[in-house]
Amino acid sequence: MESTERRPAAATSRERLVEATRELLWEQGYTSTTPAEIRTRAGVGQGSMYHHFPTKVDIAAEAMTRNSAQLERAMDDYLKQTPSPTESVRSYLSKPRDGQKGCRFGRMTLDNAVLENERLRGPVADSLTWYRQRIERLLLDGQAAGELREDFSAEAVAATIIAIVQGAHVLARADRSQASFDRVIAGGLTLLAGLEGRP
């Protein structure tokens, strides 16, 4: 009976730690986030944290993996709401975003400590690859449906679209301006419009 009562508390502590880490990684990156900040944000003691996650890498890897699964699932659901492949790509580009806050994954690529640790780099690279391949599939479907021209590489354009969104975040953060982000996205939408129809 005693062990049964402890399990929910332990699960709750673990969940709070992971969620706190997800938030902090997005707000300030991996290197700048300390275990003490994670514990404070989660409201969890040191012993409980190290029981679940012996190292900072352990909890960060769990948080990044959770980010990947949840955000990919949410994006997939979001893209399915549009009536055509081309509209899905347009919707991906024009999805409301806080330009200055940045992308959860793009931010991680700026941190050498993440890039040098395969457990941390892996979820970031895998998720960005998932996004590129998802957009590529939509572009191919758009070509097959006659919505988009056939004289371009869907793989190359998908990579460019991902780069447009990531680059828009970089400029917005540098300028401290949402307008800078919106300008880049408008340019991306113009490029997409140029691929519609027959050459």
Domain assignment present for 30: no
Q: What is the DSSP letter of 78?
A: H
Q: Is the pLDDT of residue 11 over 90?
A: no
User: Which structural domain, as residue segments, surrounds residue 117?
Assistant: 57-193
Domain CATH number, residue 176: 1.10.357.10
Domain assignment present for 10: no
User: Would you state the pLDDT for residue 179?
Assistant: 97
Q: Which residue, 40, 67, 50, is CA-closest to 14?
A: 50
Total domain count, the chain: 1
Domain assignment present for 32: no
Domain assignment present for 29: no
What distance in Å separates the CA atoms of residue 64 and residue 119, rounded to the nearest whole number? 9
Domain assignment present for 163: yes
Q: Which two tokens stand for residue 165?
A: 């969104």
**pLDDT tens digits, one per residue of 41-59:** 999 998 889 889 999 999 9
Domain assignment present for 50: no
Q: Is the pLDDT of residue 30 over 70?
A: yes
Lowest mean pLDDT, pick from 19-23, 24-28, 113-117, 194-198: 194-198
Domain assignment present for 155: yes
**pLDDT tens digits, one per residue of 115-169:** 999 999 999 999 999 999 999 999 999 999 999 999 999 999 999 999 999 999 9
What distance in Å separates the CA atoms of residue 179 and residue 42, rounded to the nearest whole number? 34
Domain assignment present for 95: yes
